[in-house]
Structures are given as C-alpha cells and as structure tokens.
Amino acid sequence: MYYRRPPMWTPQDRRLVGDYGAGQALSDDRYRLIEPRLPAAKPGGRPRSTNMRRLLDALFCVVRTGGQ
C-alpha cells in the first residue's frame, strides 16, 4: 500500500515562521525594484502556482549561504 507523507511545510507552519526564520526576506522596496524584471506567466498554460517573491528569497538564501 502506498502511503503519501504530508507536506513538510503547511500554510499554517509558514505563517508561524514568517520569512522562514532567516530574517533575510526581500524588503518591499527591493522586491518592487525586481518585480518588473520577472518574466510574466505564459498565456495558455497552467496558471503559475509558485510565489515568485518566495522563490527569489530562496535563491538569494542559497547564494548568500553557499547552499548550506
């Protein structure tokens, strides 16, 4: 029988932790500078389910810490 584990992070967990505990999330001002340069979702495809701001937070965290 196949058992699927629950997701590691639930929306409730994310609300508790906020910016994932790093204290390094993009500020609103910085995100406003970056947002116009992000590619728009392609028409006709599946709607984008990824929060681009959180994606950038994660990428910058990897760059900042060297992926540790």
Position 4 pLDDT exceeds 80: no
Query: Which residues have C-beta within 8 Å of that of residue 19, sequence separation ≥ 6?
Result: 25, 57
* The pLDDT value given to residue 25: 79
What CA–CA distance (Å, rounded) separates 60 from 62? 5
State the residue range of the domain holding 35: 11-65
Nearest to 25 by CA among 54, 52, 51: 54
Is-contact 28 59, C-beta < 8 A? no
pLDDT in tens, 19-64: 555 567 788 898 999 999 998 888 888 888 888 988 888 888 777 7
Is 28 within a domain?
A: yes
Is the model's pTM score more than 0.85? Answer: no
Q: Determine, yes or no, domain membership for 25.
A: yes
In this prediction, residue 3 carries a pLDDT of: 65
**Could you give the number of structural domains in the chain?**
1
- Note whether residue 26 is domain-resident: yes
33 found inside a domain = yes
